[in-house]
Amino acid sequence: MPLEIIQHIMEDSSRCPAWTAKGPRCRNQLSTRPIISSIGNLPSVEISGLLSQIQSLINSTLCSTHRRVALREIEGWKADFANLSTVQGPRDSSYVHDRRLLAIASWIYLMSKDAASQKDKSASPLPKIKTELESKIKQINPIQEFKPYVATARAERLAEEITKLVKRPLLPSEINRAGFIYIFWQIGNFGYMKIGLSADVGRRLKEWEKQCKKKIDVHFPDINGDEDHEDLQKVPHICRVEALVHMELLEYRRIEKKCPGCSRSHKEYFEISKEIAIQVVRKWIGWMRSLPYEKRTIGGKDQWVLKIGCCGRMTRNRLVDPVQCMENPKPLPQDYSNYLRRVCLTPGCRVESGLGAPGSSNESVNAATTLGVKIRKARGEEVVTVAHHGFLLLNEVHHPRVGEDMVGTVPDTRPELDVALVELTPAASASFTNNCYFQAEPPRRLMLGESIRAGS
């Protein structure tokens, strides 16, 4: 149960522990026996019976007015409880993009572990229940309150904002500082991640616990793991890594209104699953470990700037990771950055075919795909491969979309291989390199197209 409900029960177990619309606790007296006795008679159940158990708890603890409200609210959760069988525990939740379902699954998992470790078959639960409730009040952290983070960057232009940050020379404070990105959560507050940086994660977490009087659990890195593991090796330019992580997760950033422990407003919380948070952090850490910045003398001053061409064996991650935590289907995220004008064209860059012929049914339709690799034909002409099915309307190839740069045409197709060959314009050909490529996450499982959620 929420901490505030437990506190209300301890103060007066004969009154309804809910709140009124204006804020104070409900004054209604319960006509049934005291709440503690009712709770003591509730049996342990399997997950399949959890919903009915919660309904029993509502009937046992709330007045008639608040009981109607709560039972009406629980109706909206029936589908989530019905789907609980698809999530066996937090480790299996990476495929689940419903935050409510993940929160329920994580809560059940932790409560089950706690119950199993404290189970005592020889004792009757009823005489001890008041003592247990009192001890829980001391152990459970206060519930956090969050509000949206108001950013200067625009979330709908996230790719452009990240590009600007990537290309910006390192600030003096970003050049020499190395360290770690950490992800932790305050136990009891599911779905909210604190993402920050430190040169010593263990020491920093102890400082947070002492300052904010909160029990904290670490999601990343595993500070008790193998010290030789890559996650426990310091990352250069760590301040820039933190800024990139925060920028990518901008839509999910939240502010803790007032910390119950230190009374400050903490601004580095994100309402997102730990799986996605870790994935984004590892992406930018890996990118920074590839040493994308170099020291150059510009205008008589030394600056650390982005390397030209991303040469060598480096990979370039897409600016906005396609794995996003969305409850409602939205258009799939696209990287509309113009790499021809900014850095160089590489395998994986987005291209579109021209619009359909005027007057045809495809007049306002085009198709998108990504560039493949540059190859040399038998007579020496250099061409770049693309997916043939992406260019069935016209032979023009535009980057990153129609209306910007035309980078070539399709003189040759091999439909039996689903490959089209693009003859690049001189500018595009000079820019293109096979030495750099986008790094994509391998698929985890096969699904029917109609079953895939947008953004997953």
Q: What is the pLDDT of residues 349-388, one digit of tens each?
A: 889 887 666 666 556 667 788 899 999 888 888 999 998 7
The boundaries of the domain holding residue 69 are: 3-139
Asked if the structure places residue 451 within a domain, the reply is no
Asked if the structure places residue 17 within a domain, the reply is yes
- Can you give the pLDDT at residue 315? 41
Query: Which of 275, 306, 337 represents a domain boundary (last residue)?
Result: 306
Asked if the structure places residue 370 within a domain, the reply is yes
Helices and strands, number each (H, E), in the chain: 14, 17
Same domain, 126 and 273: no
Asked if the structure places residue 311 within a domain, the reply is no
Asked if the structure places residue 314 within a domain, the reply is no
Same domain, 151 and 279: yes
Same domain, 386 and 401: yes
Close Cβ partners of 421 (under 8 Å, ≥ 6 residues apart): 377, 383, 384, 385, 386, 410, 411, 412, 413, 414
Same domain, 178 and 54: no
Same domain, 209 and 327: no
What are the tens digits of pLDDT across the range 312-339? 333 444 444 434 444 444 555 667 888 8
CA pair distance 408, 415, nearest whole angstrom: 19
Same domain, 133 and 153: no
CA pair distance 324, 276, nearest whole angstrom: 7
Same domain, 93 and 158: no
Q: Which CATH number do you get for residue 329?
A: 2.40.10
Same domain, 40 and 55: yes
Look up residue 199 and give its two tokens.
Answer: 């040169």
Same domain, 296 and 165: yes
Asked if the structure places residue 301 within a domain, the reply is yes
Q: How many domains does the chain have?
A: 3
Same domain, 151 and 287: yes
- Can you give the pLDDT at residue 179? 95
CA pair distance 230, 282, nearest whole angstrom: 10
Query: Which of 122, 139, 156 represents a domain boundary (last residue)?
Result: 139
Query: Which of 117, 139, 161 represents a domain boundary (last residue)?
Result: 139
- pLDDT average per 10 residues of sequence, the chain (456 residues): 71 82 80 60 69 82 87 80 64 51 68 54 44 47 76 70 88 94 84 92 89 85 86 94 92 88 88 88 89 89 80 41 44 74 85 72 72 88 84 76 88 85 92 75 66 56
For residue 165, give the nearest of 321, 293, 38 by alpha carbon. 293
